[in-house]
Structure 1
Amino acid sequence: MSSLDRWRPLAQDGLLAGVMAVLVSVIVFTTPSAGALDLVAVLAGSLALVAWRRAPLVPLLVSTACMLAVAAHVQPGPVAAYPVMVAVFAAVRVGHRLAAALAVVVFLSGVLAVNLPGDDGTFQAIQDTGLLVGWFVAAGVVATVTRHRQAYLEEVEQRAAEAERTREEAALRRAGEERLRIARELHDSLTHSISIIKVQAGVAVHVARKRGEDVPPALLAIQEASGDAIRELRATLEVLRDTGGSDGSDGEAQASGLDRLDDLVERARSTGLPATVTISGTRRELPADVDRAAYRIVQEALTNVSRHAGGAAATVCIAYADEELVVQVDDDGKADPDAPPVPGTGLLGMRERVAALGGRLRAEPRPEGGFTVRAELPLGEPS
């Protein structure tokens, strides 16, 4: 809440009290018997209304006493009841009905007692008092309606907040259940299949070595890649099963990062892909999400080179700067700038990762031939 919002109610209350003080003072001083003490009483009874929101019993007491004194001495008519009506409204509005009723009884009794002794004015006094009774009743009714309306609005707001909280909890629960279902499916299907691939590759490597034969590099690459796949899949499953609100950064950071770049490139070489790595700038610890995204971008780019640019060579460049990390993978394949490939799931995933970090991604054929993937990932403040 701004300072203006905090001071606005006080300014409004002050304006109300000031207008009331001016109005009652003008009318009171048109009577011949008004004096300085009457002015003081009018000002005190009116200006006390400044506190009608924060301490309604205070203006109720002060206004009733002061305006009763003015009515008894000056007898200005119904105008003396104006500040008392506002104070009664304020008291009933916050639930002080008994105090407000006592103030009304005291004020009206005093006014009636002062005006009744004169025989000529008895009927007029009773008539004025009856009018004041109607005004006070109206003030009490309006205050009661306002109180009930405010309670209703607060209840509606509370119900809306409760409904929103319930919807959020239900959405989180459904998301957690879906994550557990995905984790079970991955564990029951993908983990089993990859485990079989790893075991079969290991058996083949063992048999080849036992026979004294050279183990094919592709077979070794399959064995190593399947082991890495199982390790990363298990880390992913741990993240999916962590339904307590984790974003998965810890599990996935343990699974992959640029510290495993050499293994990644070596595995690509073992499949027959000529690949080189160039690192520039001062290496430093990276934020977990940036480190993970950089690894995944290189991994996906090398996979695409192996699948779509057979016989091409790849160059991986990692550039550390103060404010960003640049990851670029180029190949010298036969990609045509005039016929860019249709983006698949891999490129879409890269774009989503880079966009989530607020970075920029360029993936397109190079003018001199081949394909380039360049990601600029912001680092924030140096760690």
Structure 2
Amino acid sequence: MRRDLPYALTGLALGVLLLGNAALSPDAAAPGPADVALVLIMVAGLAVCRRFPVLALAVVTAAMLLVHLRVHAGATAAFPVLGTVYLAAWRGHRWAAVLASVGFLAGFLARDVSVAPAGEAGQQLAERTALLLGWFVAANVAGLVAGQRRAYLEQVEQRAVEAERTREEMALRRAGEERLRIARDLHDSLTHSISLIKVQAGIAVHLARKQGEEPSAALLAIQEASAAAMRELRATLDVLRSPADADEVGLDRVAELAERTRSAGVPVRVTVTGQPRGLPSAVDQAGYRVVQEALTNVARHAGAATAQIHLAYAPAQLTVSVTDDGQATPVRPVTPGVGLNGMRERVTGLGGTLHAAARDDGGFAVRATFPLNGPA
């Protein structure tokens, strides 16, 4: 309704101008209540012309023509009609604008001819006809040009949207092809090599035990590391081949992740504070990946340790922390590896902060904070 207010105010100003001109003009009759009512009808028509241009055009044209026939208001009666003619032509109702223009001109000039003195009828008719015809032709042409310009701009905008969507689709397709290429390369190179290491280490362990000897710690470490590398490589290949499935992970699966870690021999406790709620998908996935990477590091480097997962929900932020009581100390700082750098990139890419360092009382702590009140 607020968008209709300028049209109504414009109609009211034109109505006041029309009635004032009729009251002051010596050639016009004094406006009566019926004429004021017709002006108010015109104002109501202009008020709805944005939403109903054809209806408004018919109402305004009829009302102004009746006012002119009753009081001979002059050219000011054509102003509201010109505005609705322009708007109708701009909105694409060209024939309605033309018919309204012809009808108003015919009635307007017929009234002038009928009341003009015989000697002056020809001259007045020619002047009024030229003036009003020029106005109405200009209103129709201006509305038509404005409508065509609007349609052109809409087409340009639509083509830009289509081009952007096409670029995005091409980028996604190329990214998918690149992921598949990387997956094939990893499968053809690393999988074969790691499998050989795993098999050879397993055979060496088996032969040592068959001969009654205890395998060396280095050999057992090689066997365990090769098995873990194979698992991680298969998981990476699954992500590369089907990224949509990988995006489904979130903090609602932390309990499942903790259970898998327990089954690997690392005790894990999960604590949640605050009210869990729906999170942006990017934040949800990044929080899960932080917990996953932190638990992987605990299993690899902390030794005989217990891990503690803490999820803290606040109105403006989410805090994800994983701590352990393992072997790390401030005296021997941890060198950031691929895992920690990857976590930091995930968190900072979403506007958050990551703190990862050894604790003063022993063990390691990873704390990620994500803002929830701003764009990711």
Partner of 1:206: 206
State the secondary structure of the residue aligned to 1:257.
helix
Render the CA deviation track for 1:177-218: whole Å, top value 9, x for unaligned: 121121111111111111001110111122223223223344
Q: Does 1:347 align with 2:340?
A: yes
In structure 1, the gaps of 5 or more residues are 1-6, 267-276, 306-312
State the secondary structure of the residue aligned to 2:247.
coil
Q: Does 1:296 align with 2:287?
A: no
Contact 1:318 1:325 in 2 (8 A): no
Code of the residue aligned with 2:189 in structure 1: it is S
**Pick aligned residue for 2:8 from 14, 17, 21:** 14
- Paired-residue identity, %: 44
State the secondary structure of the residue aligned to 1:249.
coil
TM-score, with normalisation over the residues of structure 1? 0.77
Partner of 1:237: 237
Contact 1:249 1:288 in 2 (8 A): yes
How many residue pairs get matched? Answer: 348
Contact 1:205 1:215 in 2 (8 A): yes
Partner of 2:279: none
Render the CA deviation track for 1:140-167: whole Å, top value 9, x for unaligned: 1111111011111111211111121112
Check 1:291–1:161 CA distance in 2 against 1; reply closer, same or farther (3 A cut): closer
How far apart in 2 are the matches of 1:288 and 1:46?
58
How far apart in 2 are the matches of 1:129 and 1:168?
58
**Deviation of residue 367 (structure 1)?**
6.4
Contact 1:361 1:374 in 2 (8 A): no
State the secondary structure of the residue aligned to 1:215.
coil
Q: Does 1:373 align with 2:367?
A: no
TM-score, with normalisation over the residues of structure 2? 0.78
RMSD, matched Cα: 3.6
State the secondary structure of the residue aligned to 1:116.
helix
Check 1:219–1:379 CA distance in 2 against 1; reply closer, same or farther (3 A cut): farther
Check 1:325–1:53 CA distance in 2 against 1; reply closer, same or farther (3 A cut): closer
How far apart in 2 are the matches of 1:316 and 1:360?
24
Partner of 1:154: 154
Partner of 1:119: 118
Code of the residue aligned with 1:94 in structure 2: it is R
Code of the residue aligned with 1:210 in structure 2: it is K
The 5 Å alignment of 1:290-329 reads: 290=287, 292-300=289-297, 315-318=305-308, 320=310, 323=313, 326-329=321-324
The worse-fitting range, judged by mean Cα deviation, of 348-357 and 115-124 is: 348-357
Check 1:29–1:280 CA distance in 2 against 1; reply closer, same or farther (3 A cut): closer
Contact 1:357 1:377 in 2 (8 A): no
